[in-house]
Structure 1
């Protein structure tokens, strides 16, 4: 019972997903209605499927509709018509200028006829279709610019420049699109008689960081139209650059032109071709078997060898994991060897530096300038003093041991109960004691007579200062030169005034 219920739930979910996917709109890219850099311009200076005019300049990466010069107009129009009832256009552009205010702005067009150079953002007035204006100059002094607005026209309306078309718009939003760190994007979507405008403010590099600017229902546009972009400058000037225009047509899943919906005639044609190729392949296999009866046919053998079993897959995973572990351990060993080598080199360098400093002979400057070129041995170090003290302590301990040994020998000699040593052994012991005492005495004399090196401080050179007499002479000369220059300059100015 539980299995039946779970199966029913899964079937219901799958049916719902398929129904939702069947209602999604299909997007088709229209390359003849789009352009994008790099390699935007051909060798002859033209743009494929587009034409530009006015003061527009096409480059390899973008199209500069108008440069930052006063009273300039430019435009770019597509050569082919957009024939779909639903479409989406994504425009990427930049508006940059040196001033805090800009002018005049940029416009996107979808019209039944191509526009010409005119007064409405560089294109002609009284158009038939849709216009999206990116207005950067405040003509009505309402402090509501830069402003983005959409406006439709049936060919009878004239754009109101004095009010910036505020009474003629379908809708709009107050957004700043000038001097942004990243390109600004606008996505215009017309689907099911509804116009939607999304805007990307260019503050981030995320392509999907759009926000809704306007949405208008019951918008009726021409069934076919041309796409275009225009711009204009006035007393103020901005660079208006269009980087790309990407156009997609939107089709319903049940529409004839929608992807995945194949006509019945084409479907039958494809099925017939598939059946013919399959029959031809089977006949070729039969002919090969008849001509080569002894040859092994792979299709009759066990098909299990073509598939990987669960045990083989697990063994392969274990083997791959062991290989990875072996590789990591080998890399760790190599890195440890490198670290040990670096440590050994560092220790050897430090020991070389210490040995060099121990035996270094330092040339001190002559004291008072009387003795020159005399070499002074470096002063004794702290660790050397500690070594000398330790050696002295060792010598004292050795002397005590020798004294104790001599006392023990004398005690043994004076004991009457003990067997007296032979003459040879007694003489050898006396010689050893005598040699040890002589060596000890020499070491003590050497330590006492060793001269202690007197540390010599470096002589600080007295800075050579300029004498007061030389300073006064220099100031006097400078004053004379300055007075002479001022007198010469005043005489020249007086002579020049005589000519006026």
Structure 2
């Protein structure tokens, strides 16, 4: 059943995606051990200030005016593809620069002229460029954002206007300084380009739609990654670059050829034969064991109603567990009911007292403050109730001991008369007995009063503590001072950023 459910689930996913994917290792990399011992990346080349490590590739470090890139050594041979990129862009400043590019171009886009570069790669490329722009060059306050561009090799990128209006589509996303790597899933299938974005807030595959464009024609080309910094800087790291080729399930490319079909059929026949042999051997061994050991042969059915002490012990333990669970559940329900009743007990006396003393009553606290005070009062009542219960049990035990002692004294026989010395001793004993009785009565009265006080304390509800408030003049003055300080800091920060603003 489980295997059948898994098969149906996979079939449903295949129908939903409507395509087949195949991992292409020659156009991918991921940690650990991205680099070889000589510092090179298998099937990739890195250029500029790019630093290749075991777990990631740092395209540019957090330094000013740096450019770096990595490119595949050979062009991709399939028509349709999907890439998934795991990146981390981080920096100490509020604003980063300049950004990062993900490429699929006809030629290797290694930068040749530093004055004519687009996020660490050469300008006037031919193919697809997807840019993660961190710096707001045009002052529209729409950065950071993700943009997709198509170039035929003749147009230059407009840095001053963040690409201008020639983008296929764009989406504004904050991809800097995230707790987990930010992911981009870029799919090119049947002339449709689609980008999905993962915000890097969780480790789950919760992608969201960024943008899509139809009728996109791309020639076979090289995959690449690049980044650049200017007056400001960020670390631009790439942890994974995973490439899959996409085929239509109904196309000839998706179907295995004759040699592959023969190999698959041969393996299936061998596997079936092996399973049949194992099943036959198991049946023979089972029958042989039953013949040689009739007493130890396993029974077909288990007699649940037998007198086996172990089974009875198991059933008894299970019944006790169920009873304990029911008891615990009822206790939890009763405790919850008591806790739910406490806020009503707190609010009702407070309302009555405020109604009786309307002239001297102060304004009620805000709802949030009253709710917090009610929660604190509930906790105090809960702690006091537990302590009072323990004290009550201890006092009841002491009363029980005292009552037993009184009963013992009352049951003692009276002394006989006739002997003077014996009468003196009897008088002394009766006096001692009377003193003991009086002391016990006083102790009983004192402890009874204590029990009454404890019961009254348990039934009484705690008063909500009064909270002192600042005057309106002081509050307005402090608010104005904070507004002035914030306005000064914002003006100072904007002036600093305007001075550091970089135009290409």
Are the equivalent residues in 2 in contact too, given 1:170–1:216 (CA < 8 A)? yes
Q: Choose from 216, 220, 232 the match for 1:219.
A: 216
TM-score w.r.t. the length of structure 1 is 0.55
In structure 2, the CA distance between the partners of 1:229 and 1:268, relative to structure 1 (3 Å rule), is: closer
CA displacement at 1:216 relative to structure 2: 0.5
Q: Could you list the per-position Cα deviations for residues 351-375 of structure 1 after superposition, in whole angstroms to 9, with x for gaps in the alignment?
A: xxxxxxxxxxxxxxxxxxxxxxxxx
The aligned counterpart of 1:410 is none
Q: Give the counterpart of 2:35 among 3, 28, 41.
A: 41
CA deviation after TM superposition for structure 1 residue 96, in Å: 1.1
Alpha carbons of 1:437 and 1:31: their partners in 2 closer, same or farther (altered >3 Å)? farther
RMSD: 4.9
For the residue of structure 1 that corresponds to 2:122, the secondary structure is: coil
TM value normalised by structure 2: 0.55
Map 1:169-180 onto structure 2 (within 5 A): 169-180=167-178
1:461-482: CA deviations, max 9, x gaps? xxxxxxxxxxxxxxxxxxxxxx
1:132 Cα deviation (Å)? 0.1
Residue 66 of structure 1, aligned match among 60, 63, 67: 60
Please point out which of 242, 245, 248 is paired with 2:244.
Answer: 248
1-structure distance, mates of 2:80, 2:62: 35
Give a deviation string over 1:365-413, Cα, whole Å, max 9, x none: xxxxxxxxxxxxxxxxxx89x97xx789949x868x22xx54xxxxxxx
Show the counterpart of 2:91.
Answer: 97
Q: Aligned with 2:147: secondary structure?
A: strand
Matched, 1:441 2:418: no
Q: Aligned equivalents of 2:204 and 2:12: distance in 1?
A: 31
Asked if the contact 1:23/1:252 (under 8 Å) is kept, the reply is no
What SS class does the counterpart of residue 32 from structure 1 fall into?
A: helix
Q: Secondary structure at the match of 1:438?
A: helix
Q: Which residue of 2 aligns with 1:343?
A: none
Q: Counterparts in 2 of 1:302-313, with a 5 A limit?
A: 312=300
Deviation per CA, 1:111-167: give whole Å up to 9, x if none.
122111251100111112111000111112222211211111122221111221122
Match of 1:238 among 228, 234, 240: 234
Alignment correspondent of 1:131: 129
Is the contact made by 1:136 and 1:147 (CA closer than 8 Å) also made in structure 2? yes
Residues 40-96 of structure 1 deviation map (CA, whole Å, 9 limit, x = unaligned)? 333332223222221112233221111111001111122343211111111111111
For 1:187, the equivalent position in structure 2 comes to 185
Report how far residue 204 of structure 1 moved. 3.0
CA distance in 2 between partners of 1:278 and 1:243 (Å): 42
Inter-partner Cα distance in structure 1 for 2:12 and 2:142:
47
SS of residue matched to 1:196: strand
With over 3 angstroms needed to count, the CA separation of the structure-2 counterparts of 1:439 and 1:49, relative to structure 1, is farther
The 3 A distance-change label for structure 1 pair 63 and 321 is farther
| C-alpha distance in structure 2 between counterparts of 1:89 and 1:63, whole Å | 17
1:87 aligns with: 81
Alignment of 1:252-271 (within 5 A): 252-258=248-254, 261-268=255-262
- Cα distance in structure 2, aligned partners of 1:190 and 1:116: 23
How does 1:397-436 map onto structure 2 within 5 Å? 401-402=414-415, 405-406=416-417, 435=422
Q: Report the Cα distance in structure 1 between the residues aligned to 2:412 and 2:121, rounded to whole angstroms.
A: 113
Contact in 1 for aligned 2:35/2:41 (Cα 8 Å): yes
CA spacing shift, 1:170–1:330, aligned 2, 3 Å: same
Q: Distance in 2 between matches of 1:136 and 1:46?
A: 29
1:112 is aligned to 106
Quickly say closer, same or farther: Cα 1:41–1:171, change in 2 above 3 A. Answer: same
* Equivalent residues in 2 for 1:10-29, closer than 5 Å: 21=15, 24-29=18-23
- Following TM superposition, by how much is the alpha carbon of 1:262 offset from its aligned partner in structure 2, in angstroms? 2.6
Is the 1:187–1:199 contact (alpha carbons within 8 Å) kept by the matching residues of 2? Answer: yes
The residue correspondences of 1:327-346 to structure 2 (distance < 5 A) are: none
**Higher Rg of the two aligned structures:** 1
Are 1:22 and 1:253, in contact at CA under 8 Å, matched by a contact in 2? no
Matches of 2:194 and 2:425, distance apart in 1: 113
Alignment gaps of 5+ in structure 1: 1-13, 285-296, 306-310, 333-382, 407-429, 449-500
Given that residues 91 and 186 in structure 1 are in contact (C-alpha distance below 8 angstroms), is that contact kept between their aligned partners in structure 2?
yes
| 8 Å CA contact retained: 1:105, 1:133 | yes
Give the C-alpha shift of residue 250 in structure 1. Answer: 0.8
Alpha-carbon distance in structure 2 between the residues aligned to 1:269 and 1:391: 99
Select which of 189, 194, 197 maps to 1:196. 194
Instruction: Please give the alpha-carbon distance, in whole angstroms, between the structure 2 residues aligned to 1:28 and 1:166.
Output: 36
Cα deviation, 1:196-230, whole Å, max 9, x if unaligned, reads 0111122333222x2211110110111x2211110
CA separation of 1:99 and 1:85: change in aligned 2, threshold 3 A: same
Extract unaligned runs of 5+ from structure 2. 1-7, 278-282, 292-298, 323-397, 436-504
Offset from partner CA, 1:302-349 (integer Å, 9 cap, x none): 9xx9xxxxx948879x999999768868999xxxxxxxxxxxxxxxxx
Aligned length: 333
1:483-498 mapped onto 2 (5 Å cutoff): none
Instruction: Report if the CA contact (8 A) 2:14-2:20 is conserved.
Output: no
Q: 1:220 to 1:312 in 2, by over 3 A?
A: farther
